[in-house]
C-alpha cells in the first residue's frame, strides 16, 4: 500500500483503482510499442494458468491484481470470472490447425467465436500449448526413451535365444545410429525389431526424422487458422506459448500465427533442472529467453510464463528427499524472475503450475504478494520506454562479466522517468548511470531497497545486491 500511495502522490493512479467491470465485449489491440491496449487503456497483464474452483481463492487472485485467467470454453465459467472483475483467455485446441480436416475445424472455430467472442470477460485466444516443440518432443520421447525400453522388455521375454540375441544386436545398432545423428536409419532399425517380433508398434508416426516436416505443415495450418479466426473475431488477440526450445528460424516462422508470443521457463532450482537448454541455467535464463522471444517476433508483445510450482509438485509420488532437492521458488527468486523478464522487454507475465500447490502454502502467498506489488506498478510497467535510455557503467569487480546489470527506463504520463534495475550477477555490483533525464540535484529513491541517490553531473551512482532489484523513482531533493 506504501507503493500505491507513492504513485498517487506522484500524480499516477494505478490501473486497479479505476478499472470497473466491463459490460461489453472488450476491444483489445496492441500499441506500436507492443503494449496491450484494452478498451483504450494501456495494460501490462498478469495472468494465471489456473481457474480456482473455490470462490475465496479466485477472490484472492483478483485482489492480488491478476487480470487474466485461463478458462475453459463455457459461458458459466466466463460469467464467474467477469463477476470477479477478471478477463479470460480460451485455448482453441487443435481447431486452429487447418492443415487437415479443414472444413470441420473451420466450423469449430466459427462456433467458438460465435459463442464467446462477444462475452465481456474474453480477452484473448490461445493456440495449443508448446505446439512447435511438441512436433519434436513426442517422437523424441518415443524413439529415444519409451521404445527402447519396451523393445528390450519384449526381447528379454523371448524363449528363442537366437532371435533374442539378433534383436539385441539390432537394438544396439539403432542406439548407435541415434547417437551418431543418423536418425532415419536408426528408426528403420527400430522398426525392423517390431517386424521380427511379429507385432505392430504401439504408436505410429512418431518419427524424429519427420519432425521438421511436421512442424512446417503445422505452421502452415496454424497460420491459416489464425487468419480465419481473426476474420471471425477482430476484437481479440491470439497468444502462442512456446517451450524454452526451438530454433530462431522456426520461432520466427510460427510467430506469424499469433499476435502475442512467449515461452515458459522454470529455472528453480538453479543449475539442477534441465528446463533451460541454454548454457545459462540460472535464474537469469528468464531474461535470456525473453530476449530470444522478442527477437523471434520484434513487433509483437512477449508474455513470459513463469514458475508457480516446485518440480517435485509435478510428481504425485515425490519423496521428502525429492522435495528438498527440488524446492519451490522463494519470494526473492520469484521477484527476481519477474523483474528480469520485465527489463528484458516482456509486456506481460503469466504463472503456470499453481494448480499443483496448496492455497495456504508460502509459494501461493508469495505469488499473491508479488503480483500485488507488480500490479501497483501498473502505470510504470505499462508506460512507454523512455526515449533516451541511460548508459550503464560498472565499476571493476571480480566476476567474468557474463552476468551484469540490466536497466530499463520508463517515462510516465507526467514526464517522470523511473529506472528499473536488475542485477543478474549473484554478487554485489557498483554502477553508474549517465544520460539520465532528471536535472542535477534530483533525488531518486527506492523505498523497498531503502536506497537514495542524487543526480550529480548528470549521473546516478549506486550499488546493488547480488540478484538485487531497484525501482528508482524521483522525488524533490531536500
Burial 128-153 (b: 16+ CB within 10 A, else e): bbbbbbbbbebbeebbeeebbeebee
Q: Coil, helix or strand for 246?
A: coil
Query: What is residue 400's predicted lDDT score, i.e. its pLDDT?
Result: 82
Query: Mean pLDDT across the stretch 178-194?
Result: 97
Burial class (CB in 10 A: 0-12, 13-18, 19+), 161: exposed
Query: What is residue 14's predicted lDDT score, i.e. its pLDDT?
Result: 39
Query: What is residue 26's predicted lDDT score, i.e. its pLDDT?
Result: 84
In this structure, of 15-24, 208-217, 249-258, the range with the lowest mean pLDDT score is: 15-24
**Length of the chain counted residue by residue:** 478
DSSP-assigned beta bridge partners for residue 237: 124
DSSP-assigned beta bridge partners for residue 42: 37
Global pTM?
0.92
Looking at domain 2-131+215-381, its CATH class is alpha beta
What residue spans in the chain does CATH classification 2.60.40.1180 cover?
384-475
Query: What is residue 223's predicted lDDT score, i.e. its pLDDT?
Result: 98
Query: What is residue 47's predicted lDDT score, i.e. its pLDDT?
Result: 98
Query: Mean pLDDT across the stretch 76-90?
Result: 97
Which has the closest alpha carbon to 258: 351, 101, 429, 125? 125
Query: What is residue 23's predicted lDDT score, i.e. its pLDDT?
Result: 61
Alpha carbons within 13 angstroms on the beta-carbon side of residue 190 total 31
What is the C-alpha to C-alpha distance for residues 168 and 175, in angstroms, rounded to an integer?
11
What is the C-alpha to C-alpha distance for residues 319 and 95, in angstroms, rounded to an integer?
39
DSSP 3-state helix, strand, coil percentages of the chain (rounded to 5)? 40, 20, 40
Query: Mean pLDDT across the stretch 77-97?
Result: 97
- The torsion angles phi and psi of 70, rounded to 5 degrees, stand at -70, 130
Residue with cell 502475442: 260
Which has the closest alpha carbon to 45: 338, 419, 252? 338
Query: Mean pLDDT across the stretch 327-352?
Result: 98
Q: Which fold would CATH assign to domain 384-475?
A: Immunoglobulin-like (2.60.40)
Q: Which residues contact 434 (CB under 8 A, 6 or more apart)?
A: 390, 391, 393, 458, 459
What is the C-alpha to C-alpha distance for residues 368 and 4, in angstroms, rounded to an integer?
16
Burial 228-254 (b: 16+ CB within 10 A, else e): bbbeebeebbbbbbbbbbbeeebbebb
Q: Which residues contact 335 (CB under 8 A, 6 or more apart)?
A: 370, 373, 469
Query: Mean pLDDT across the stretch 310-336?
Result: 96
Q: Coil, helix or strand for 149?
A: helix
- DSSP, res 204: S
What is the C-alpha to C-alpha distance for residues 165 and 170, in angstroms, rounded to an integer?
9
Q: What is the CA radius of gyration of the chain?
A: 25
Query: Mean pLDDT across the stretch 453-457?
Result: 93
Query: What is residue 196's predicted lDDT score, i.e. its pLDDT?
Result: 96
Under the banding of pLDDT at 50, 70 and 90, the label for residue 1 is very low
Q: Which residues contact 227 (CB under 8 A, 6 or more apart)?
A: none
What is the C-alpha to C-alpha distance for residues 134 and 131, in angstroms, rounded to an integer?
5
DSSP-assigned beta bridge partners for residue 238: 125
- Count the neighbouring beta carbons within 10 Å of the beta carbon of residue 255: 21
What residue spans in the chain does CATH classification 3.20.20.80 cover?
2-131+215-381
Asked if residues 349 and 341 have their Cβ atoms less than 8 Å apart, the reply is yes
What is the C-alpha to C-alpha distance for residues 174 and 167, in angstroms, rounded to an integer?
10
Across the chain, mean pLDDT equals: 93
Query: What is residue 476's predicted lDDT score, i.e. its pLDDT?
Result: 53
Q: How far is CA 142 from the centre of its chain?
A: 26
Query: Mean pLDDT across the stretch 149-157?
Result: 97
Amino acid at each position: 500500500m506504501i507503493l500505491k500511495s507513492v504513485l498517487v502522490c506522484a500524480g499516477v493512479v494505478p490501473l486497479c483503482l479505476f478499472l470497473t467491470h466491463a459490460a461489453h465485449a472488450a476491444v483489445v489491440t496492441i500499441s506500436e510499442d507492443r503494449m496491450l491496449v484494452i478498451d483504450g487503456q494501456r495494460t501490462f497483464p498478469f495472468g494465471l494458468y489456473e481457474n480456482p474452483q473455490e470462490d475465496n481463492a479466485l477472490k484472492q487472485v483478483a485482489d492480488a491484481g491478476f487480470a487474466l485467467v485461463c478458462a475453459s470454453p463455457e459461458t458459466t465459467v466466463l460469467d464467474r470470472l467477469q463477476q470477479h472483475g477478471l478477463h479470460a483467455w480460451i485455448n482453441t485446441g487443435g481447431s486452429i490447425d487447418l492443415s487437415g480436416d479443414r472444413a470441420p475445424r473451420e466450423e469449430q472455430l466459427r462456433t467458438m467465436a460465435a459463442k464467446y467472442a462477444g462475452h465481456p470477460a474474453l480477452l484473448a485466444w490461445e493456440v495449443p500449448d508448446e505446439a512447435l516443440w511438441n512436433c519434436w518432443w513426442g517422437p523424441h520421447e518415443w524413439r529415444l526413451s519409451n521404445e527402447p525400453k519396451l523393445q528390450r522388455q519384449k526381447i528379454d521375454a523371448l524363449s528363442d535365444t537366437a532371435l533374442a540375441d539378433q534383436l539385441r544386436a539390432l537394438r544396439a545398432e539403432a542406439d548407435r545410429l541415434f547417437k551418431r545423428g543418423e536418425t532415419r536409419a536408426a528408426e528403420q532399425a527400430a522398426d525392423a525389431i517390431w517386424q521380427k517380433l511379429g507385432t505392430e508398434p504401439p504408436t505410429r508416426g512418431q518419427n524424429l526424422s519427420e519432425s521438421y516436416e511436421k512442424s512446417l505443415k503445422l505452421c502452415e495450418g496454424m497460420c491459416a487458422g489464425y487468419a480465419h479466426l481473426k476474420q471471425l473475431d477482430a476484437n481479440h488477440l491470439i497468444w502462442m506459448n512456446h517451450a524454452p526450445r526451438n530454433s530462431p528460424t522456426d520461432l520466427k516462422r510460427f510467430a506469424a500465427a499469433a499476435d502475442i508470443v512467449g515461452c515458459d521457463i522454470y529455472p528453480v532450482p538453479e543449475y539442477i533442472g534441465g528446463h533451460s537448454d541454454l548454457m545459462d541455467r540460472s535464474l537469469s535464463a528468464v531474461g535470456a529467453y525473453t530476449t530470444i522471444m522478442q527477437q523471434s517476433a520484434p513487433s509483437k508483445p512477449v508474455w513470459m510464463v513463469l514458475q508457480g510450482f516446485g518440480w517435485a509438485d509435478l510428481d504425485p509420488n515425490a519423496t521428502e528427499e525429492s522435495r528438498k532437492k527440488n524446492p519451490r521458488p522463494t519470494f526473492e527468486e520469484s521477484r527476481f524472475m519477474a523483474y528480469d523478464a520485465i527489463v528484458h522487454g516482456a509486456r506481460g507475465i503469466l504463472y503456470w503450475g499453481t494448480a499443483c500447490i496448496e492455497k495456504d502454502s508460502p509459494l501461493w502467498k508469495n505469488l499473491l504478494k508479488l503480483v500485488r506489488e507488480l500490479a501497483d506498478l501498473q502505470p510504470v510497467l505499462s508506460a512507454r520506454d523512455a526515449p533516451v535510455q541511460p548508459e550503464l557503467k560498472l565499476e571493476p569487480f571480480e566476476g567474468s562479466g557474463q552476468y551484469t546489470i540490466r536497466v530499463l527506463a520508463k517515462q510516465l504520463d507526467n514526464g517522470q522517468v523511473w529506472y528499473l534495475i536488475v542485477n543478474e550477477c549473484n554478487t554485489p555490483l557498483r554502477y553508474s548511470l549517465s544520460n539520465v533525464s532528471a536535472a542535477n540535484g534530483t533525488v531518486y529513491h527506492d523505498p523497498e531497497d531503502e536506497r537514495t541517490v542524487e543526480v550529480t553531473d548528470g549521473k546516478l551512482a549506486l550499488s546493488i545486491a547480488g540478484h538485487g532489484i531497484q525501482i528508482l523513482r524521483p522525488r524533490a531533493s531536500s
